[in-house]
Amino acid sequence: MSTTTLLSDVFGFDAFRPGQQEIVEAVIAGENALAIMPTGGGKSLCFQLPALVRNGVTVVISPLIALMRDQVRGLREAGVEAGALTSGNTPEETDAVWEALEAGTLKLLYMAPERLASGGTINMLRRAGVSLIAVDEAHCVSQWGHDFRPDYLRIGELKRTLDVPLAAFTATADAETREEIVQKLFGGQQPATFLRGFDRPNIHLAFAVKDGPRNQILNFAVARKGQSGIVYCGTRAKTETLSKALSDAGHNTCHYHGGMEAEDRRIVERRFQQEDGLIVCATVAFGMGIDKPDIRWVAHADLPKSIEAYYQEIGRAGRDGAPAETLTLFGPDDIRYRRQQIDEGLAPPERRAADHGRLNALLGLAEALRCRRQNLLEYFGETPGPCGHCDLCDKPAEVFDGTTAVRMALSAALRTEEWFGAGHLIDILLGNATDKIQQRGHDSLPTYGVGKDYDKRQWQAIFRQMMGHDLLRPDRERHGALRMTEHARPILRGEATIELRKDTIKAARGSGPKVRMLVSEEDAPLLSALKAKRRYLAEQANAPAYIIFNDRTLIEMAEKRPMTLDEMAHIGGVGAKKLENYGRDFLEVIAGAVEEVHPMRRKLAGRDEGAVYDRLMQVQASLNRGPHGADKPMSCSASLLAKVAQLRSTDMDHLTRVIGDKYAERFGEAFLEVLENTS
């Protein structure tokens, strides 16, 4: 049967969507293929149709049970023999899949990557006559991506074992992710690659600075009452409170997050698929397995984590090709939170740097001065003209020449040697005589008080835009201090100018609700770094984080910044045992390289005896070769010195009994003098 006949008879389409046919033909021909297609671009068809043409079984690796079940249900209703092996199966469903495999009638077998961990699965697939592996959401193989799943790493081994072609599909894959997909899934052999246009012209794009965000979301929903929508929230708690607010306003709503019972999540997924006009307030746990074509709008109550995450999440809207709308809210606290998330993660430094780059790209989109769609598609390597269908095309941004303000801010950062965050730099620009400014002499800088044309909130908006334009970046090594990028140098040197958005700066006037922070803005990045270390140690010990240190202890560390074990011992919650086990780890986060300390000395940290031990060490070093420097070298062991440091007696006989005649002869009088001066 021809592909066009199958397309019509089985799938009910008169023609392929743009770009589908060449992918289908390559997969049918047995080529290894990597297809990067926009969300809603018809990826499933590109492996489902070839599965019907090719002999044998096509194994589909997919990350979500809900998505697999939906696709299997849809294929069966179209008359295709398909099945899934998932943890959600009933025994009867699993038996039916095995029987179809044995009979050779099954054409598509769906499974989660976690199932590949079982050696029995690989043997079963070898016997089943698999002729093609299809990998959905292939970016999950990449540690650069935002949905990394370790079990995806087993797929390359499966391909080598079965020696069959592999077709991988994803909606979001930048250059680093594509490269890792090729390495991990295709063994470094370049597959036939299809990069379809990323534009979804039916989706209207809009961003807004947070200004009473709950009302902003409520107003957006009111104008679209009765339409199916998703509100993405940054926290589980917010999904519940926002869902209640929408419900109180008369909307049909529910919430969804990873902390809910599995059955409750399934009920929400089922309701959303079946009901018209339901709004789901959800974390990003919701949506990857949702294939509802008529979602009319997606709102972000908080800034997404990256530009790829944003693209994938808004891509859940308008899959039927009809008009759909989006709104993304953002503010300085979102930016700080997302930076903190990256810095507190356990990823290697190059991955964290890449994640900051992806966040920078999203901030650039949020702070764009002209067409959003142009900005978004340029990130994915396309060069479109203005779309005429986003908030900035509808109503161009009000801009002004921000060069002078930007130069002031850059100058403040450079004159303080790029060691401070926005809060301190703004205090300098405004001429605020804070304790920190006076202690560091920053009130004598040429930039002190030069920025009084703007108030604090307006300067925060300017700094936010500067980070959005990638002129300043937080430096993790300096615990979030802002450092100038190469992009900023021409502006500072007077070789370039820059426009900023006037409307968002004007809107920043006045006072909003005070955000309650655990620590000051200056100490927040260090607290993030300390939490990251705590999380790492907790995972190593397979223990809850608070068992290492509680938040209160880490907050005190961030504020007091102890530089030695003795200082660390005086932090609340750092007992002797915890100091011994973890003190050095946390000191390294605060102070960088830490001097090696003998375990016996470490046990005395924070006690008076520790200082006595240090003095005894100095005295011993000076007498190592005797009073004239000509005798045979001699020194007490660390444990012996520790015993001396803890002596309450200043009696020579007692000291001699502790250290012995030989040591007493050389060091006795000097040691007693130390003990007498510190008793």
The verdict on 22 and 140 lying in the same domain is yes
Each residue of 497-529: pLDDT tens digit? 999 988 777 665 433 333 335 567 677 788 888
Q: Which residue has the higher pLDDT, 319 or 35?
A: 35
* DSSP character string of 585-628: HHHHHHHSS-----HHHHHTTTSHHHHHHHHHHHHHHHTTTTTT
The verdict on 242 and 165 lying in the same domain is no
* DSSP character string of 118-146: SHHHHHHHHHTTEEEEEESSGGGG-TTSS
Residue written as tokens 């990823």?
347
Give pLDDT, residue 519.
66
Mean of the pLDDT values across residues 240-266?
93
DSSP state of 275: -
Give pLDDT, residue 70.
79
* Ranges assigned E (strand) in 56-188: 57-61, 82-85, 108-111, 130-135, 166-170
pLDDT band at residue 676, thresholds of 50, 70 and 90? confident
pLDDT band at residue 401, thresholds of 50, 70 and 90? very high
The verdict on 74 and 181 lying in the same domain is yes
Residue written as tokens 């790029």?
418
Alpha carbons 361 and 470: distance in angstroms, whole number:
8
**Lowest mean pLDDT segment, chosen from 126-135, 336-345, 451-460:** 336-345
**Lowest mean pLDDT segment, chosen from 19-33, 68-82, 444-458:** 68-82
Alpha carbons 243 and 580: distance in angstroms, whole number:
47
* Percentage helix, strand, coil for the chain under 3-state DSSP, each rounded to 5: 50, 10, 40
Mean of the pLDDT values across residues 428-450?
92
Contact yes or no for 241/247 (Cβ under 8 A): no
Give pLDDT, residue 506.
67
Each residue of 321-333: pLDDT tens digit? 778 999 999 987 7
Answer yes or no: is 249 within a domain: yes
Buried b (16+ CB within 10 A) or exposed e, 176-185: bbbebbbebb
Give pLDDT, residue 290.
65
Which residue, 154, 172, 195, sits at the end of a domain?
Answer: 195
**Lowest mean pLDDT segment, chosen from 345-349, 390-394, 581-585:** 345-349
Q: Which residue has the higher pLDDT, 26 or 273?
A: 26
Answer yes or no: is 350 within a domain: no
Answer yes or no: is 344 within a domain: no
Strands 297-300 and 229-232: parallel
Mean of the pLDDT values across residues 173-188?
86
**For the ranges 399-413, 597-611, 626-640, 644-658, the one whose mean pLDDT is highest:** 399-413
**Lowest mean pLDDT segment, chosen from 223-232, 287-296, 655-664:** 287-296
The verdict on 465 and 563 lying in the same domain is no
Q: Is 479 exposed, middle or buried (0-12, 13-18, 19+ CB in 10 A)?
A: buried
pLDDT band at residue 162, thresholds of 50, 70 and 90? very high
- CATH number for the domain that contains residue 586: 1.10.150.80
Strands 399-401 and 499-501: antiparallel
Give pLDDT, residue 289.
55
Determine the Cα angle at 152 with ends 150 and 155, to 5°. 135
The verdict on 382 and 264 lying in the same domain is yes
Mean of the pLDDT values across residues 140-162?
83
Give pLDDT, residue 510.
39
Asked if residue 312 has pLDDT above 60, the reply is yes
Give pLDDT, residue 508.
52
Q: Which residue has the higher pLDDT, 634 or 145?
A: 634
pLDDT band at residue 145, thresholds of 50, 70 and 90? low
Could you give the 3-state DSSP secondary structure of residue 668?
helix
DSSP state of 163: T
Instruction: Say what percent of the chain tops pLDDT 90.
Output: 33
Domain range for 108: 3-195
Alpha carbons 223 and 451: distance in angstroms, whole number:
41
Which residue, 507, 532, 551, sits at the end of a domain?
Answer: 507
Asked if residue 206 has pLDDT above 60, the reply is yes
The verdict on 62 and 164 lying in the same domain is yes
Asked if residue 607 has pLDDT above 50, the reply is yes
Alpha carbons 631 and 186: distance in angstroms, whole number:
70
Mean of the pLDDT values across residues 585-602?
78
Answer yes or no: is 246 within a domain: yes
**Lowest mean pLDDT segment, chosen from 12-16, 157-161, 436-440:** 12-16
Which residue, 507, 533, 556, sits at the end of a domain?
Answer: 507
The verdict on 101 and 207 lying in the same domain is no
The verdict on 427 and 542 lying in the same domain is no
In this structure, is the dihedral angle defined by the CA atoms of residues 315, 317, 323 and 329, taken in order, positive or negative?
A: negative
Answer yes or no: is 512 within a domain: no
Mean of the pLDDT values across residues 212-241?
93
The verdict on 649 and 546 lying in the same domain is no
Asked if residue 415 has pLDDT above 90, the reply is yes
Each residue of 28-76: pLDDT tens digit? 999 999 998 876 668 899 999 999 999 999 999 998 777 788 788 888 8
Contact yes or no for 636/659 (Cβ under 8 A): yes
Computed over every residue of the chain, the mean pLDDT equals 86
Give pLDDT, residue 512.
36
* DSSP character string of 368-432: -SS-HHHHHHHHTT------S-BHHHHSPPPEEE-HHHHHHHHHHHHHTTT---HHHHHHHHHT-
Asked if residue 88 has pLDDT above 80, the reply is no
Q: Could you tell me how many residues make up the chain? A: 679
Answer yes or no: is 301 within a domain: yes
Cβ contacts of 139 within 8 Å, gap of 6 or more? 145, 146, 147, 170, 171, 172, 173, 177, 181, 308
Asked if residue 239 has pLDDT above 80, the reply is yes
Answer yes or no: is 259 within a domain: yes
Alpha carbons 41 and 663: distance in angstroms, whole number:
83
Asked if residue 661 has pLDDT above 70, the reply is yes
pTM of the model: 0.62
**Lowest mean pLDDT segment, chosen from 403-407, 441-445, 622-626:** 622-626
- Domain count for the chain, please give it: 5
C-alpha dist (Å) from residue 184 to 34, 144, 168, 177, 380: 12, 12, 11, 10, 22
Task: Please report, as a single letter, which amino acid is at residue 667.
Answer: F
pLDDT band at residue 594, thresholds of 50, 70 and 90? low
Tokens at residue 611, please? 């200082």
Task: Please report, as a single letter, which amino acid is at residue 452.
Answer: K
Asked if residue 288 has pLDDT above 60, the reply is no
- CATH number for the domain that contains residue 66: 3.40.50.300
Residue from 172, 183, 164 nearest 32 by CA? 164
Answer yes or no: is 640 within a domain: yes
The verdict on 645 and 572 lying in the same domain is no
The verdict on 188 and 207 lying in the same domain is no
Alpha carbons 255 and 232: distance in angstroms, whole number:
10
Cα 201 to chain centroid, rounded: 28
Give pLDDT, residue 144.
66
Give pLDDT, residue 372.
94
Mean of the pLDDT values across residues 196-206?
88
Give pLDDT, residue 516.
38
Give pLDDT, residue 509.
44
The verdict on 561 and 489 lying in the same domain is no
Asked if residue 153 has pLDDT above 70, the reply is yes
Asked if residue 271 has pLDDT above 80, the reply is yes
